[in-house]
Structures are given as structure tokens and as C-alpha cells.
Amino acid sequence: MSATTQERTIGILGGKGPEATVELLNLIIKNTPATREEDHLRVVVDNNPKVPKPSLGITGHGPCPVAALVATARNVERAGAGFIAIPCNSAHYYLDEIRRSVGIPVLSIIDETAAALQQAGIGRAGLLATTGLVQSELYQKRLAESGLVTLIPDPKQQAELMEKILRFKDAGDMAPLTGIALRICRELAESGAEGVVYACTEIPLALAGHPPPCPFFDTLAILAKACIREAQKRQGGKP
């Protein structure tokens, strides 16, 4: 069997946000071991910014995005994907509904990040995420299952971080998000965080070239590596 027939096509349920979707594709390309163009992996993408913001749906400040997420996942499946990745941490609040709607596996960015933290020997992790995701406690509960303690910003900082995330998403204004994210990273490190998780896929974009004072875990980069791993499994393998 040739390498091409062994590989599974990567599916990306994208659009939340569009820049994070593009960056995931870019990271897949950059991290794929290739000596020629044909060695790269096949990817199908539905970059659907019309999906309501999952972070606002979680808190009830916006419409529920499930129908749009499900429709987009089905589009990706119909396009030939062997599995799906979602470059949006907050959308994983609805992961069970998405998984039930398709017949192919859907990766979990949260599970992949928990595994990366464990492998790095992190015991106390700071969390930079949307307010909806923080309030859902998805990361806190998953990391606790792996024996990790999660540190989060205080409510005032969290509100400011969320405001700057939305400002970047809607107006493309990155600098304010860079500033508040760096400040929170420093304070989390001072509070004992051994590493900081960029659990909103806009944060790695805003902090590119601005490393925090402790190790950081870019969930987009982690997801990209998981996509490459899963794509290189034989057809019929499961994440």
C-alpha cells in the first residue's frame, strides 16, 4: 500500500476564528516531515465564521452554536475527511454533540493538551481561555483527572481578557490582547504556574514573539501535531 492510500485526510471544522483556522493549516504544513510537495497531507477545511461564538453560547450571552457546528462537521465529513479537528477550544464544550453527528472521529484539543502537559511534567498549569470555557471548567476537570492543578485569572482580569479576545476576533485589534495576556501570564507564573496553557486559539497569535516567563503550551500547535499523527495512521485507525 502506498503512503498516500495509508494516510487519512485531515478535516478542519474552522471559522472560530478564521485566523486560527489558517494558522492550524499552516502549522500542519510546517510540522509535516516532507521532502517534496507530494509528501504533505491532504486537508479539507470548512472555514465557517457564520457559526455563532461558542464562548458566548456557553454563558448564554449568544445563540447556541450546536446546529451550525454540526452542519459544518457534516460538510467536512462529506468532503472526505477521515477525522475532524476543531481549532477552537470553546467549541469543545459541544464536543459530544458534534461527535454524535458524524461517523468519523473528532479529536479533542483538551485531551491532547492534557497529554502534552503530563509529558512535560507540569503539575500546576495556568489557563488563558474565554470566560465561557473557564466557567465550564472543562479544562480544570480534565487536568485534575491527570493530577494537575489549574490556576485561573481573577475575575477582573478574566473579564478584561475576554473583552480583548472579542476585540481581536471582531475588529482584528491584536495589541490589547497581547498586553493583557502577557500580564496575566506573568501573574500566573508568580502564583506558582509551572506552565501556561493558551486555551483560546487567538492567544497564540497575539503572543507570537512574546514568550511568557514560564513554559507555554500552544493548543493550536498541539492540535496540529495530533492531526499529523492521526493522518499518518492507516485507514480505519481511530484517534
The rounded distance, in Å, linking the Cα atoms of 143 and 139 is 6
Please provide residue 99's backbone torsions phi and psi, each rounded to the nearest 5 degrees. -60, -40
Helix (H, G, I), strand (E, B) or coil at 35: coil
Residues with a catalytic annotation lie at 88, 200
Burial, 20: exposed, middle or buried (Cβ in 10 Å; 0-12, 13-18, 19+)? Answer: buried
76, 13 Cβ separation under 8 angstroms = yes
Find the DSSP H helices in 32-65: 54-59
Instruction: Copy the grid coordinates of residue 175.
Output: 495589541
